[in-house]
A and B are shown apart, each in its own frame.
Chain A
Amino acid sequence: MANGTENIAGYSNPEHVAGGKFSFRSLTDKISGITERKTPPVWFVAFGAASSLLLVLLGSIGYLVWEGVGIWGLNNPVGWGWAIINFVWWVGIGHAGTLISAVLFLFRQKWRTSINRAAEAMTIFAVICALLFPGIHVGRVWHAYYMFPLPSQMGIWPNFKSPLLWDVFAVGTYFTVSTLFWYVGLIPDLATLRDRATSRVRQLVYGFLSLGWLGSNRHWQNYERAYMILAALSTPLVLSVHSVVSFDFATSVEPGWHTTIFPPYFVAGAIFSGFAMVLTLMLIVRVVFGLTELITLKHIELMNKIILVTGMLVGYAYAMEFFIAWYSGNPYERYVFINRATGPYAWAYWTMISCNVISPQLFWWKKLRTNIPLTFVISIVVNIGMWFERFVIIVTSLHRDFLPSSWGYFRPTVVDVATYMGSIGLFMTLFLLFIRWVPSIAMAEIKGVLPEADPHYGHGDEHAHAAVGVAAKAEA
């Protein structure tokens, strides 16, 4: 099947996609089967752990709303701590999913079809975890709706000059568009599950959710146009949303925050940490659910290359910040950077540098970037490094700014840590539910890029030749 079909009609190497070993039916069976078979026991174990952490999260939030923000380690001058670090961390992680779905689609990278569904799901869950934090970190959570442009008794409206408000619109739009994009992509696959359903309940649920999709080409035409438009919209969204998040810092006056490099630096960092999270998840899922022929070593290597590139962009940004701080001659700016590297939080700064700049350099060697256990370790190290990057940015800039009389030290409390671990629990719970009930690989898309999907596929097939002839005439 695979031989003699290289590079037909501009398809990339079929080995990248499904390893040249699948037919439409076997692919459908394999992927749908995960949602149709009995739940593997290891899923229950993972789900138990994830939901315990979720309960920890709910408890932490309850305690927070009851007692007040003081149960966290915040103080004056450090008004933002773990909550905002976690917010930026989760939003950053979410960006890889959109990049894989949208940007790689626009660049016609067919290898994305094995990972895009799970990556988009990861985006949505990461953004849910992200949106949690600005919601709960405010002093008066029960009035958080004041941020929305709704009429109020006071007659006043939100302040549209505030970057936090831009965040509300940006992350809100990002969440909505990502969910819509993910759902639209899911419709044909949900229809597949509906048509394979053996129980009435499955038929009803998947049937309802697939909206009556019948694979009609008139529908496909509008569908593909919508998909392309959503991909084209999501691309500037990836760039703009994390830029807007970076504006929370870049538009302020604090030394160490007030710098124009933040938007591209944050976006590069987001893609960096997002791909690392995709790898962490996919390396586990592909083994547990037997998808190693669909999510291949080639996919892993390509993702590692992206991690190397974005890691170097982030490293460049670190160096440039330092250089500009020195070059500017601004004493406050210079001090902040010297303090980062040599002050009370130097341990955090050097953790960040070794995790983000040094560890991805291992991927220059092919032997190392095709090494799966090493990839797994580095993907986690990268995410740790990216968490520390946000820690360094937020806490070290705040703790020592303009007036030395205001300098202070921030220490997290147990509740800070519990809330963060709990958010990981929320993410894992949602992801596990996704893996169990939703096709984790985009069946319709991956079928569409198999060599057999090309109407001109196969030699010695008279009708294929005739079709080619007709198509050629139509094109002339």
Chain B
Amino acid sequence: MTSHATEKSSAGSATTWLLAEYDSPAACMHAAEKLRDAGYRDFDTHTPFPIHGMDRAMGLPDSRLGWIVLAMAATGLASAVSMMVWMNGIDYPIVVGGKPPISIPSMVPVAFELTVLFSAFGAVFGMFGLNKLPRHHHPLFESERFRAATTDKFFVSVSSSDPKYDADTTRQLLESAHAAHVESIEEVRS
């Protein structure tokens, strides 16, 4: 656990991350709580599965995804009903089975399905949007040890864009939570 003397980043230059590796979910969560309590905002944890209570440990607000899905559901419902009313009722009205061209009961199945479909799109693509995925190149992937983040190790990364970031203080904070390894990663800007 050697210390690196890394320059503090200044606005406009490459971002540095401090990446700490932990062996258990508890240790990782503890580290996150320490960072949260110390006032850090621009940090993250990287785990192979979501850990219970980590959102609170990091001080994260609730996900906004629900609102996106609700908006999409309403869009779906409105599109379905207007589509059917326009197509079968206004643009080319046909009489089938002696029933009036615009009839609400027969519109229910399609309206329901389109509401669900649009909501699902909202959930998936909204989630991708909120997470800014796909993002195939992230500087953290430069770390060899980071590969274990999807298997059995738990990482905490602190970005130098956080106002409280200091190469030495932050490193000490991370190590005090029993980190197995801490390394510094620089973003390579071409």
Contacts and interface: CB of A to CB of B under 8 A. Distances in A.
A457 interface: yes
Interface of chain B, main secondary structure: helix
B53 A237 contact: no
Given A149-B87, A215-B46, A226 B133 contact: no
Interface in A417-476: 443-445, 447-448, 452-458, 461, 463-464, 466-467, 470-471, 474
* Interface-centre pick from B63, B91, B177 (highest chain A CB count, 10 A): B63
B49 A457 contact: no
Which of A188, A195, A455 has the most B CB atoms < 10 Å from its CB? A455
A405 B34 CA distance: 84
Nearest to A27: B152
A169 to B, nearest CB: 4
Contacts of B65: 222, 225-226, 229
A434 B9 CA distance: 46
A165 interface: yes
Contacts, number: 228
Nearest to A442: B49
Contacts of B33: 467, 470
A240 B92 CA distance: 29
A170 interface: yes
Given A211-B134, A230-B120, A169 B113 contact: yes
A208 interface: yes
Interface stretch (B104-112, B164-172, B182-190): B104-112
A217 B124 contact: no
A104 B107 CA distance: 30
B124 A166 contact: no
A195 B66 CA distance: 31
B189 to A, nearest CB: 18
Interface stretch (A43-51, A122-130, A155-163): A155-163
Contacts of B131: 216, 218-219, 222-223
Interface centre among B87, B92, B107, B110, by most A CB within 10 Å?
B110
Contacts of A454: 25, 52
Interface in A158-184: 158-161, 163, 165-166, 169-170, 172-173, 176-177, 180-181, 184
A347 interface: no
B106 A160 contact: yes
Which of B26, B27, B112, B121 has most chain A Cβ within 10 Å?
Answer: B26
B150 A192 contact: yes
A212 B47 contact: no
Given A169-B113, A217-B54, A455 B26 contact: yes
A232 to B, nearest CB: 9
Given A170-B109, A195-B150, A226-B65, 6 more contacts: A24-B48, A180-B120, A181-B120, A211-B136, A218-B44, A229-B119
Can you list the 10 inter-chain pairs with the closest CB atoms, starting with the nearest? A24-B152, A211-B134, A157-B87, A448-B49, A226-B127, A195-B147, A220-B50, A166-B109, A192-B150, A215-B46
5 contacts: A161-B103, A170-B113, A192-B150, A217-B58, A230-B120
Interface of B: 24-27, 29-30, 32-33, 44-58, 60, 63, 65-66, 69, 83-84, 87-88, 91-92, 94, 96-97, 99, 103, 106-107, 109-110, 112-114, 116-117, 119-121, 123-124, 126-128, 130-131, 133-138, 140-141, 146-152, 155, 177-178
